[in-house]
Every structure is written in C-alpha cells, then in structure tokens.
Amino acid sequence: MSDVPAGLETLDFSFSGGRPAGAFAPVLVGVVGSGNLEVLLEPTNDNGCAVRVETSARGFGPIWQAVMNDFHARHPLAGVRVSINDMGATPAVVSLRLDQAVAEIAGGQP
C-alpha cells in the first residue's frame, strides 16, 4: 500500500526572465490518455513563464522540477503560461511535447 494519496496532484512552477514569446494563438499538443499528456501554451502579459502541472502520478515533484528546469534552460520564454495535463508520461515524452509546443509558436522552428 502506498503512502501517496489517490487523485490528481497539482504542481506550480515559475521562471523569470527569458525572451518574450510575442503574440501567438494558444497551442495544444498531445492527448491526455494512458501514459501520455497534453501541453497547452498560452500568451500572457507577464515577464516570466508560469507552469501548472495536473498529474495522476503523485509524488514526483522533484522529477517535474528537473524536467521544467531543463525546459526553461532550453527555451527561456517569457510571457507564456504552460498548462500540462498528465496521465503518467515519462520525462522524455514530457520534453518532447514541450518542444513540439514551442516549435508551434516559433513557426515550426524549435
């Protein structure tokens, strides 16, 4: 029996600085399903990048922090809200979906 309570876990991360993403239409990539996730990028008027993760895989906060730190190091965006709905995707799949979403707002360029 696990000590981790059942249900979704919500994790919030924020990053300051970065290059402004500029104006873009909201972008949705991926599909919430068994072992997958969806990523939504939306423009904001903020000077940072806010990330909210809703995940069924509870207790993995430090791993999510590492994945989000890596994402922000590769894509230091400002003026972006990232929403992730996860159903147990691996860190590699999370990074792939984030890269796909950023490529969409960059006109197909990663």
Higher pLDDT, 82 or 7: 82
100-110 pLDDT, tens per residue? 999 999 765 55
Q: Tell me the average pLDDT of the chain.
A: 90
What are the b/e assignments for 13-33, b being 16+ CB within 10 Å? bebeebeebeeeeebebbeee
Instruction: List the domain boundaries for the chain.
Output: 9-105
Look at residue 1 in the predicted model and tell me its pLDDT.
46
Which pTM was predicted?
A: 0.88
Fold of 9-105: Ribosomal Protein S5; domain 2 (3.30.230)
5-47 pLDDT, tens per residue? 568 899 999 999 789 998 999 999 998 877 789 999 999 999 9
Are the CB atoms for 14 and 49 separated by under 8 Å?
A: yes
